[in-house]
Amino acid sequence: MQFTAAQIALLINGKLEGNADALVCSFGKIEEATEGQLSFLANPKYEEYLYITKASVVIINESLELKQAVTATQIRVPDAYTAFATLLAKYQEMQTQQLSGIQQPSYIASSAKMGENIFVGAFVYIGENVKLGNNVKLFPGVVLGDNVQIGDNSILHAGVKIYVDCVIGKNVSIHAGTVIGSDGFGYAPQADGSYQKVPQIGNVVIEDFVEIGANTTIDRATMGSTIIRTGVKLDNLIQIAHNVEVGTNTVIAAQVGISGSTKVGKNVMMGGQVGTAGHITIADGSKIAGQSGITKTVKQPNRALSGTPASDVSSALRVQAMTKNLPELEKRVKELEKMVELLLSERVNA
């Protein structure tokens, strides 16, 4: 597919500077792009490449003041990064829209209800009473258990497994290998030291405009629902336990583990490898640094937390600084102990 600079500017409401007929057919990083590619500049530290890039078209911030001439056609927008992301999304959407039909072999239960413009890849299993909205794309190896519902324009990549009764909203993207609705980790200790499994009879509800990375697992509720609210973005390799609720527009990085019945607020940001205790609440707008441990409820919204157990970032940084000095402090304490012993010895002998 080819687009002119003028067409791109129209798509992102940008101001064109240069050759409106410049053609692009692919994307490239500004430092590596070649003729016929579209690039962008958002980070000022890469500005030097703007003046030497071979890209045909570059999206830049409207506030950028050029220090020298630029050979590439420029499209100025308020936020170059957001505009470029919008273009990539449109490009990806055009690619997936071309997919339609049902590949074989695949299994579709007779009671399943299918929307328009569906794509079903090879080796897909669709169980009884499944409901698929319009423009749903199921890539090879997807498994949908009985009574699963998937809303319009949602995409399930290769090998995604959705267990029975789970509900997926509209415009949801779930990447390869993710499992939605597996059993929560519930066992009742017995007098003989063994554990009796607690049946998990709830489901998972994923609302609209959610994206879930590869090989993430979201457990079904013991009763009721595990809920991922609208606009949540989950990275790869995340574990979300039974009866968890993740609030609107929260973003969670890779290898985070959220224990059962935890309530995560709106607009929360979690760095990689954060872990939480169960049955706690994390306030709206919390920003939690990577590898932090959240052991108790966070009541105050919009706090930045770090460490284990997590505390305010400023306090955690002070503790880290003091920790580095512990060997020197230990040495000084031992020297003081020797001085005290010497003074006591002299007093006794006086």
What does each of the 350 residues of the chain score in pLDDT, given as a tens digit? 789 999 999 999 999 999 999 999 999 999 999 999 999 999 999 999 999 999 999 999 999 999 999 999 999 999 999 999 999 888 877 777 778 899 999 999 999 999 999 999 999 999 999 999 999 999 999 999 999 999 999 999 999 999 999 999 999 999 999 999 999 999 999 999 999 999 999 999 999 999 999 999 999 999 999 999 999 999 999 999 999 999 999 999 999 999 999 999 999 999 999 999 999 999 999 999 999 999 999 999 999 999 888 878 777 677 777 778 888 888 888 888 888 888 888 777 76
CATH code, residues 3-97: 3.40.1390.10
CA–CA distance, 204 with 137 (Å, rounded to integer): 20
* Confidence (pLDDT) at 311: 78
3-97 matches 101-314 in fold = no
- Give buried/exposed letters for 5-42 (b at 16+ CB in 10 A, else e): beebbeebebebbbeeebebeeebebeebeebbbbbbb
* Confidence (pLDDT) at 339: 87
Q: Topology of domain 101-314, per CATH?
A: UDP N-Acetylglucosamine Acyltransferase; domain 1 (2.160.10)
* Confidence (pLDDT) at 98: 76
- Domain map (residue ranges) of the chain: 3-97, 101-314
* Confidence (pLDDT) at 322: 74
Neighbours of 120 (CB within 10 A): 25
Nearest to 268 by CA among 292, 252, 244: 252
* Confidence (pLDDT) at 350: 65
* Confidence (pLDDT) at 297: 97
- Ranges of beta strands (E only) in 44-186 are 57-61, 73-77, 101-102, 107-108, 119-120, 125-126, 131-132, 137-138, 143-144, 149-150, 155-156, 161-162, 167-168, 173-174, 179-182
- The H or E element spanning position 293 is strand 293-294
> Is 279 among the catalytic positions?
no
Catalytic residue among 157, 175, 242, 279: 242
Q: pTM surpassing 0.85?
A: no
